Amino acid sequence: MMLTLRPAVAARTAFRQYARAMSTQAEPMVLTSRSESGKVAILTLNRPKALNALSTPLFDQLNAELEKADADESVRAIVLTGGEKVFAAGADIKEMKDKQFAEAYKNNFLGTWAKLADIRKPIIGAVAGYALGGGCELAMMTDFIVCTPKAVFAQPEITLGIIPGGGGSQRLVTLIGKGRAMDMVLTNRKVSGVEAGQWGLASRVTEDGQSVVEEAVKVADGIAKFGVVAAQAGKEAVNAALELPLAQGLRLERRLFQALFATADQKEGMAAFAEKRKPTWTDN
C-alpha cells in the first residue's frame, strides 16, 4: 500500500531533507571578514574538527581568497589566522600517506602551497595554539608573525619519516639561524610563543589572555594608514634581502627609494611633514 503525504506534510518533509543536505555540505575551509575600518582582510582557516589541518583543497580556497584581497583596492593589508585556539596543526596526513614519488613529483605536490609568498600586500600571521609542520611553514610565509605566549611552533616531520616540504628547513635558517633550525627539524623540538619572540621567529608576542587576532588586526590597520605604494615597495625590498647578495640588495633598495620620488604620495608625505599636518595618501 502506497502512503500519500498531504501537501503540507510533503512540503515539511522536503524542507527537512533539504536542510539535512545543506547541513552536510562542506563549509568553506577559509572564512573571510574585514576589520572595522574595512581596510584589512581577515582570512581564517576553518577546519576546527581537524585542528585546521592543511590540505590541497584548503590551499586552493586560501590562494583564491588571497588573490581576491590582493586585487581589491579597498584592502591595504591582510591578516591570516586560524582563530584564537589553533593556527594549524600540520598537513592532512590522510592526503599524504598513500602518495607515491611519481605522483607527488609529476603533480608538484605542495607546489601550490607557497603562492602566499607571491602576494604583494602586507600579510600578518596571527598564531594561537599549535603551528606545527605545515602550519609553522604557513605562518613563516607571512610577512611577520604575531603570536600568543602559549603558541607552539614545531617541525615534527621527522616523526613521520619525512622532512619539511613547504619551506620549513629554509625559512627557519633565515629567521632563527642554522643551529636552532637543526634542533627543530632533527629533534622535533617544540618552541613556545615566548621563545619564538626571543628567537625572532615571531615579531610580536601578545600579553597572556589578549586576543591575537585583535592585536594582528590592530597592527594591520596601522599599516593600512600608510600609502599602498610605499608599503608594497618596503615589502619588496625586505624580501629581496633573503635572496640577493648585499651589494645587489642595496642597489635594489636604492632604486626603489629613488622610484618613490616619482609618486604623488612622496610629495604629499614630505609636504605634510613640513607643514606639520597629517598626510592624505592617494596611492599614486
Amino acid at residue number 30: V
Residues 6 or more apart in contact with residue 186 via CB below 8 angstroms: 158
Q: Which residues are catalytic?
A: 91, 134, 137, 157
CA 191 to CA 156: how far, in whole Å? 11
DSSP state of 130: E
Alpha-carbon span 146 to 204, nearest angstrom = 5
φ, ψ of residue 102 to 5 degrees: the values are -60, -45
Distance CA 140, CA 145 (A): 7
Distance, in Å, from the CA atom of 132 to the CA atom of 111, rounded to the nearest integer, reads: 19
The DSSP bridge pattern shows strands 30-34 and 40-45 to be antiparallel
Cβ distance 272 to 278 under 8 Å?
A: yes
Listed in sequence order, the DSSP H helices in the chain are: 7-24, 56-71, 93-96, 101-106, 134-141, 168-176, 178-187, 193-199, 212-224, 228-240, 246-259, 264-274
Distances (CA, A) of 227 to 115, 231, 257, 277, 283: 24, 6, 14, 16, 5
